[in-house]
Structure 1
Amino acid sequence: MSTLHAAFLIAAGLLAGIVGTAGGITSLVSYPALLAVGLAPFAANATNLVALNACWPGSALGSRAELSGWGAWLGRWLPLTAAGGGAGAALLLLTPPGAFASVVPFLIVAAALALIAEPWLSALRDARLRRSQREPGAGHGREHHGPLLAAGLALLAVYGGYFGAGSGVMTLALLLVLVERDLPVANAVKNMINGSVTLPAGVLLAFLGPVHWPAAIALGAGALVGSTIGPTVTRALPRVLARWLVAALGLGLAVWLWVKPSV
């Protein structure tokens, strides 16, 4: 890999880390960047999943305020998402490339639309909780919808370990509707979930996948810095603007994957 390619991937990782941990879609930037420097789709996907492990410590450092009080909740759900991430990486190694390609754009569109409709969906959720005489704000809504939340997190974790493009926006939509209405907090929790998914997937692919290590190191270095900055960007953006920006990025990624669906 040339010095120019390395510099390009560092810059792409920086932007991907900011976009992803600010609520957007990391792979919207990082995966095409790997394709642009000449990696084949399968190698680019494996390299991307390994490199994006750098986002976890960066986003945790940048979101300490938002994550305060969430330790018990994360301790309950992260083992499930970590298992799903490992299962997704195993599927990537065992199934034909592009097995999910036809359905992924539609999943991302659904998640983007859910983000746009989140205020209405959350209001409907709260009204139903009041009718059932539950405490709608207890634990910030974290204990409600347990089976639905478990199924959603498990499925998204498997997909995240398999390919992951758009998994962040889908996870954010799920959290906003079922768990936490405050966008910066939900985004910080989403970043921790994404980290738990990419870690086992990255470890498995590091040993068994076609990882291009110079590219992974360059992309990861940029992502580490960018993911530290991303949560600050989320705090600064108006909530409505942030939601629409993330939804727009999701729709853009869905179109790109529909046109070029190879994984």
Structure 2
Amino acid sequence: MSDSPSTPAAAASGPAAPGELDPVLVMRGVRRAYGDRVVLAGVDLEVRAHEVVALIGPSGSGKSTLLRTVNLLEPIDDGVIRLAGRDISDPRVDADAVRARIGAVFQHYNLFPHLSVLDNVTLAARLVHRMPRAEAERRGHELLETIGLGGFASAFPDRLSGGQQQRVAIVRAIASGPELLLLDEVTSALDPELVGEVLSLVRALAERGTTILMATHEMAFARDVADRVVFLDGGGIVEQGPAREFFAAPREARTREFLARVLP
């Protein structure tokens, strides 16, 4: 059995057709503070359909908090967040219904240890989206096969390596066809030799047209896979632009200083 990731055939739609590139996510003036400590200082950001946007920046720059506000795990103090045109930052919104439209994977795998790999992958489809068990399991088996983990469907997470667990977590996040996939430093908890297999899966999803907003410290991966890179520092966007241009010719002195420290 091969253990190398390949493209999940049913995970995302193909390339965008004309007129399909309206913003999936819009953030305007988003502010989040903890007492006197401002973590997001009026952030404006858009992510369009089938676009991969990489958030980079030093520790504490607000990357993870930004992702958590989009997934309604953190309230915002000011501004507005829209998902496919709808204001999801309205306090009256049904947060669970919004999260059902978003896939999210964080630094730690957060698989349920008492459930099999297949049950982990299909849980949201069955319980949240009310997909019949047979259909959910058929799709779950297909997705696991495409990432080389079909033989682990009945196994429990503790039988998998860290890289395998994180790949299962990503497959779980896309199993219900989310409108937006949030990835928060998904390789940071992995041993270096396991990073590549997770990044290969993210690359495959990007090639299939999945809309992704990801925080990452993997600069080469951001350059090669992202459509756009956004550099955050001090809770604000210092600079953003097409990935290749961003790394080749950063405009801001703070960006150049950061890249000089993190690039080989």
Task: Please indicate the TM-score interval, normalised by the length of the shorter structure.
Answer: under 0.3
Q: Which has the higher helix share?
A: 1
Q: Which has the higher strand share?
A: 2
The structure, 1 or 2, with the larger RCO (C-alpha pairs under 8 Å, 6+ apart) is 1
